[in-house]
Amino acid sequence: MMSMTFVVSSRVKLLFDFWDVQGPAGMVLSVLVVLLLTVLYEILKVFRVWLGNPSQLLQPQSLYLPPTISSSCSSSSEHRRSSNTVPDSSRSESSLVPLELPPKTNAINNKWLLHGIQTVLHLIQVSLGYMLMLCVMSYNTWIFIGVILGSVIGYYIAFPVLEGLLGRI
């Protein structure tokens, strides 16, 4: 029967029969692999959040005049109309509408492609999460520390990236 308490040992069998650690060098290598897998898991979480923001990726790429120019143009065009000193061939209100609208079918195709990519990334994230959980359930203290440190390092690396990406929106 398997022990249900944490053990400080350099012997452990992780996930598969071929991943049988028998010494300190193998334990160090296994902890590093588990740590890197956990960092990858954390970065994948941030990447999925970034991809899940449709306002950034699916936003129409149309050009608008800045608000200060458009407001001054509209007030000056009203003044021109009332004074009749400037011809109507100057800037009109039609310059305030988008210059080009993207076709709707392209946006729909992008949405399905994005959904497909997110689905594959979700599959990888869930699989990796369960594998890491099973590594922790080996009840080896070194592997547990590797998962915890990998999570901390991954969050430390990925969170500023996420904050920067979401800060631009």
Residue 126 has pLDDT above 90, yes or no: yes
Greater pLDDT, 131 or 90: 131
In a 10 Å sphere around its CB, with 0-12 CB exposed, 13-18 middle and 19+ buried, how is residue 123 labelled?
Answer: exposed
CA pair distance 147, 34, nearest whole angstrom: 6
Tell me the per-residue pLDDT of 46-57, one tens digit each, with 9 for 90 and over. Answer: 888 878 764 544
The predicted model scores a pTM of: 0.63
Instruction: Answer with the residue of higher pLDDT: 6 or 83.
Output: 6
Arithmetic mean of pLDDT, 107-119: 84
